[in-house]
Amino acid sequence: MTKLRLAIVGAGPAGIYAADILLKAERNFEVSIDLFDHLPAPYGLVRYGVAPDHPRIKGIITALRGVLDSGDIRVFGNVRFGVDVTLDDLKKHYNAVIFATGAVQDADLNIPGASLDGSYGAADFVSWFDGHPDVPRTWPLTAREIAVIGNGNVALDVSRMLIKHADDLLATEIPANVYGGLKASPVTDVHVFGRRGPTSVKFTPLELREVGELNDVDMIVYDEDFEYDEAATAAVASNKQVFVIDKTLNQWRARETGTASRRLHLHFFAKPVEIVDDGTGRVAAFRWERTRTDAAGGVVGTGEMREIPVQAVYRAVGYFGSELPDVPFDKKRGVIPNREGQVLRRDPSAGTGGLFNQQMYGVYATGWIKRGPVGLIGHTKSDAMETIKHLINDLGNWWRPESPSEESILALLDARGVKYTGLDGWHNLDQHELALGEAAGRTRIKVVDRDEMVAVSRAE
C-alpha cells in the first residue's frame, strides 16, 4: 500500500489543522506526518500572537493539543527550516511538504517618520508581551501619550495592553519581564486612529466590548465621528456585527469621563500623514488628515490636517509573510504563490519577471502564508481542507524520497547536532510553566528564554 511521508513546516493552527484533516480524510494510502517548527513550543500565533488576557481564544490550544496528543503526528520543535533542514533534505526524506509558516512581520506604513525612534511595529510589540523567545526581553515603555494606527483586532490588542494596568494582567500567563515593563509604564493616554468611520472598522464586537471593560480607563469617542451618511445608517440597520459595534460606541458616548487615571481615545476618519520628528530623530507628534466617505463607499481626504503630541507610535496596519529559502515568494503580497494551496513557481525560461504559473510538485501551502493575513483562526480549517484535497489528488506527482524511513530524519538532525524538542518535550515545558504559575498563585508563567525552553523540554 502506498504510504505518504509528509513534512509540515509550521506548528501553529494552520499546520496542525492540515495534519488533522489529512489523517481524517478518505484516502487509499497510509500517512506518516512530521511537524516542524523553529520554536521549541507548538501552537504558533495562538501562543505568540494572541494577547495573554484572551483566555477564550487561548482555549483553541486545547483542541490543537488533542490533535497532537492523538499519537499520529511527530513534532520537531527548535528546528529552523533553511538552516537545520533544507528543501533538498525534505525531498530526500518525504513525499511532500506543506508550508504553514504564517505571517509574522509588520506590513509597511509608507508615511514620513515611520522609521523614527519611538515608532514601532505592532507585531514586534505583540511578540514581546507574549514572551516570544527571539525578541529582546525589554521594551521601551517611556511614553505618556501614544498613537496606535489601525482599526483591526491587533490594534485593539496593542492598545489594550498599553493602557491596561499591569496588576490586572497577573491572572494571565504574562511573563515576569513583561509585567515589570508594563508596571513601570507612565502611559496616561492611548489614541487609536482609523481611516474609515465607526461602521467600517475591522475589529470584532467582542474585542471592542472587552476594551470598554478595562479597570480605571476612560473610553473617549468624539461626536463628530458619528454623523452617519445614508450608507453607514443602512449598515447599522442591516448588519448585526455593525449594529453591535455602533451600540457599544454610542454607549461610550453617553458615559461620564474624567475620573479614571488613563484614557483610551478612538479617532475615526483619520488618514495617517506623518509621524513628526522632534529634531533629534525621535517621535514628537502624529499628524493625520480628516477624511469623509465618498459615493463609492470609500473615504477621501478633506484637506483638513490635525496633529497631536505623542512620544510613541505603534503601527498596526497588518502582517506580512516571510520569504523561505528555495521556496517561491510573492514579495508584493507577502505570500507563497499558489493555486488553491499548490505552490507555483516562475517559468524558468521567463527569468525573474515571469509569472508564477508552474506547479512546484510536492510543495504546498496553507494558512496566512498561502492567502495572506486575513480571516480568523477558524478560517484556517477550510483553508487547510482545500490544500489537503489537492495533496491527495496529486499522488502521482509526489516526490520519490531516497530515505523515507521515519528514523532517517532523526539520524539527520542528530548528525547535525540539532537540539530538537518533541511532543514529550512540550509536555515537560507545559508542566514546568504550570508549576511556575502555581508557585506564584497564578495559572501559568510562560518561559521566555529559548535555551531554557529547550533545556526544560529535553529534561537536561
- Structural domains for the chain: 3-104+322-420 (3.40.50.720), 105-319 (3.50.50.60)
Between CA 49 and CA 37 the distance in angstroms is 15
Over the stretch 395-451, which tens digit does the pLDDT of each residue have? 999 999 999 999 999 999 999 999 999 999 999 999 999 999 999 888 889 999 999
Strand order in the sheet with 96-99: 73-76, 30-36, 3-9, 96-99, 356-365, 342-346, 338-339
Q: What number of residues does the chain have?
A: 460
One-character DSSP codes across 279-302 = SSSBEEEEEEEEEEE-TTSSEEEE
Confidence of residue 376 (pLDDT cuts 50, 70, 90): low
Q: What is the DSSP letter of 81?
A: B
Q: Calculate mean pLDDT across residues 265-287.
A: 98
Q: Cβ distance 312 to 120 under 8 Å?
A: yes
Long-range contacts of 355-362 (CB under 8 A, 24+ apart): 356/328, 356/330, 359/397, 360/328, 361/394, 361/397, 361/398, 361/399, 362/91, 362/95, 362/96, 362/97, 362/397, 362/398, 362/399
Render pLDDT for 34-81 as a digit per residue (tens, 0 to 9): 999 999 999 998 899 888 888 777 678 888 999 999 888 999 999 999
pLDDT tens-digit readout, 444-453: 899 999 999 9
Residue in the block written with cell 523614527 = 116
Q: Is the pLDDT of residue 362 over 80?
A: yes
Angle at 168 between CA 378 and CA 56, to 5 degrees: 15
Strand 283-293 and strand 270-277: pairing?
Answer: antiparallel
pTM over 0.75: yes
Give the pLDDT confidence of 317-358 residue by residue, as tens digits.
988 999 999 999 999 999 999 999 999 998 876 666 678 889
| Averaged pLDDT score across all residues of the chain | 93
pLDDT band at residue 236 under the 50/70/90 scheme: very high
Q: Check the CA dihedral 357-363-366-369 and report its sign.
A: negative
Mean pLDDT (whole number) for 260-278: 98
Give me the pLDDT at residue 351, please.
64
Q: What is the mean pLDDT of residues 83-94?
A: 98
